[in-house]
Structure 1
């Protein structure tokens, strides 16, 4: 028989295994494909070459999720902006990389920037994106509301 204190500690330890949306740390990437690269080739390279390369470089420090959102294209091969002024919307995709915390992100970044991987990482990026237009933005917090009105957190993406 365990004591009440042991029971509470056990509950706390178990709850630490579940990551809440307030604990995760995310970055947003705004990505423009390399000039002259076709839309299908851009997506194909990111999915079949770049992501596997990153996974190989960082191993267990790969993000909890690396979600890529590709913008729908119109007849002029521009992002299909359906509301507002399309001026300045010149990105082809955005990605959200979600980490368990800042330390997880730091380990990921360190592995990508070490002498062994940095040059290979940049060389691969140059094959499919326009690095001069690439943007990375740190995300302070994430809130998501499900269809039923409840909060769903970062785990909602792709779970439907």
Structure 2
């Protein structure tokens, strides 16, 4: 059974959503693939929150001019900018990845680079349980 983890990632103040996405895709992902090598997850899925430039956000100073397109809840519920899902073949594969990328040299490279565009103090992560999908067939 796949082993999946979700991370909720917030961009640093002063970085636009476009800059955040470009940095994630063009700098961060190649670095992660290089650092993780053969331990890279089966999938590293990035889902970016859709933000409307120049809008009025309620209850958030962080995204006052770039509100999320909230369907249910409030702006404050969606102050992060991306939901990242890492999928591994197994818990053992995740543990190998984690140990490999958290050696001092590798961890320092990733952390140093993340500090350029991610507010690490706001990052959150959670292990997913069972995943059930219903399809329209």
TM range (shorter): 0.7 to 0.9
Deviation at 1:142, TM superposition (A): 1.4
- 1:65 aligned onto 2:43: yes
Aligned with residue 119 of structure 1, among 108, 127, 130: 108
**Closer, same or farther: CA 86–57 of 1 in aligned 2, 3 Å:** same
Aligned with residue 48 of structure 1, among 7, 15, 26: 26
- 1:31 aligned onto 2:20: no
Q: Distance in 2 between matches of 1:71 and 1:89?
A: 8
Which portions of structure 1, spanning 4 or more consecutive aligned residues, are displaced by more than 3 angstroms? none
Deviation at 1:138, TM superposition (A): 0.8
TM (normalized to structure 1)?
A: 0.75
User: Structure 1 or 2: larger helix share?
Assistant: 1
Deviation at 1:78, TM superposition (A): 2.1
Q: Relative CO higher for 1 or 2, CA cutoff 8 Å, sep ≥ 6?
A: 2
Secondary structure of the equivalent of 2:125? strand
Deviation at 1:27, TM superposition (A): 0.3
Secondary structure of the equivalent of 2:41? coil
Deviation at 1:87, TM superposition (A): 2.6
RMSD: 1.1
Corresponding residue of 1:147: 136
Could you tell me which runs of 5 or more consecutive residues in structure 1 were left unpaired when the two chains were aligned: 1-22, 149-160
Q: Distance in 1 between matches of 2:79 and 2:6?
A: 16
Matched-pair contact (CA < 8 Å) for 1:33–1:42: yes
TM (normalized to structure 2)?
A: 0.87
Could you tell me which runs of 5 or more consecutive residues in structure 2 were left unpaired when the two chains were aligned: 56-64
